[in-house]
Structure 1
Amino acid sequence: MRRALLAITGLAAGTTAMVVLKGSPGAAPVAQDLPAERPTVVPAPAGPTPSGGDTAGTPQPADSTASPRPGRTATRAPTSRPSATTRAPSAPRTTTKPPPAPTTRTVTGPVVENEYGNVQVQITLSGTRIVDVVALELPEETAQSDQRSEQVDGRYSGSSGLVVQRQSADVDTVSGATATSTSYKRSLQAAIDRAN
């Protein structure tokens, strides 16, 4: 029984293979689709080619310089394409550092004398900007000179005084305290000159 089953299976497999290979009766062979970029190459004949005769039936070698026949494409030399992973060189990275914080420094002007006493001014700078002014010495010999000194100091000195607002020694003279104002401006201008 096993033998009979094996024989039937073998016969069925053989018949199926023949039908597939041969195709159904009356069916035309199916043409294979060849890629358009690869023309069919016909090998050169092994023997000498007939001379002067009809060569229509004789296969001819493919000529890459001849123009392609209708229905065929010319053979092209492969072109080099950049790789998908090839990248153009990128620009170098530049890092921008924040500007350094301005340094704070103090500069002291000289002592300037007048008939009421001595005047000396000190300025504080952040970078090149005046941020504060202090009178280190002002006349205080009498009550009147002390009062005039307070007026000058109140108008010019401090972080919100006229000197910081104008960033120079070009400030208006305090009325009634001309000598002290003049001495203050001279010491201030000398401190500004030293700072530069």
Structure 2
Amino acid sequence: MRRALLAITGLAAGTTAMVVLKGSPGTSPVAHDLPAAPPPVVPAPAGPTPTGGEVSAAPSPSRTGASPRPDRTATRPPASRPSATTRAPSAPRTTTKPPPAPTTRTVTGPVVENEYGNVQVQITLRGTRIVDVVALELPEETAQSDQRSEQVDGRYSGTSGLVVQRQSADVDTVSGATATSTSYRQSLQAAIDRAN
């Protein structure tokens, strides 16, 4: 009877030590790192058992691979995983594709006649921006009209001409080539209007 009382007392002391060492949620982490007291050994009662054998000591917990510290996972709440039916919808996927490159297109203005000949202009646009201007027709009847046409073409046409710089048909008249300049602007404005 005395041995049984000692065994119960030892078991109670061991359980109390484990509870104290595990600590409550407000205890410092230092208490968690202390080694647990070894489990008490319960002495076997002496004497024969009804089957004729001796009673062996109470089996001690297995120590193979066990840590001397108490098991902390038992006090942690299980990780909550959302079920498939209660999972919040994920944010829509956004792709970071670059914006599409603006399309390049050409628009041709009408042929505009004047006393020196015909003028026709073609513009190239990338998106809504004029990037190039070409004179398809200019007066070349005489040396003088050819010279004036070259002046107008050199000033207005090309990727760096006044039309591309100003992005409109509102360009100054070339001195000495008023008729050709006016016809050029008329064909150009018609091409811009068709592009819009």
Per-residue CA deviation, residues 99-122 of structure 1 (Å, 9 max, x unaligned), is 211111111101111111110000
Distance 1:133 1:93 in 2: 43
Q: Which residue of 2 aligns with 1:124?
A: 124
Kindly provide the CA deviation profile for residues 98-154 of structure 1, in whole angstroms up to 9, marking residues without a partner as x: 221111111110111111111000001111111100000101111111101000000
Aligned to 1:147: 147
**CA–CA separation in structure 2 for the residues paired with 1:176 and 1:82:** 92
Task: Classify the secondary structure of the residue corresponding to 2:168.
Answer: coil
Residues of 2 paired with 1:193 and 1:119: CA distance?
17
Match of 1:84 in 2: 80
Secondary structure, counterpart of 2:124 in structure 1: strand
The alignment's TM-score, normalised by the length of structure 1, stands at 0.59
Specify the alignment match of 1:48 in structure 2: none
Q: Which runs of 5+ in 1 are unaligned?
A: 1-17, 36-80
Instruction: Measure the CA separation in 2 of the matches of 1:126 and 1:31.
Output: 88
Report what 1:21 is aligned to: 4
Does residue 195 of structure 1 match 2:195? yes
Change beyond 3 A, Cα 1:29–1:124: closer
Query: Secondary structure in 2 aligned to 1:23?
Result: helix
Query: Would you say 1:179 and 2:141 are equivalent positions?
Result: no
* TM-score, normalised relative to structure 2: 0.59
2:80 alignment partner AA:
A
Unaligned runs of 5+ in 2: 20-76
Partner of 2:135: 135
Pairs aligned (count): 133
RMSD: 3.0
In structure 2, what is the equivalent of residue 107 of structure 1? 107
Give 1:63-78 correspondences, 5 Å limit. Answer: none
SS in 2 for 1:186: helix
- The offset of 1:31, in angstroms, is 7.8
Q: What CA distance in whole angstroms lies between the structure 2 residues aligned with 1:136 and 1:88?
A: 63
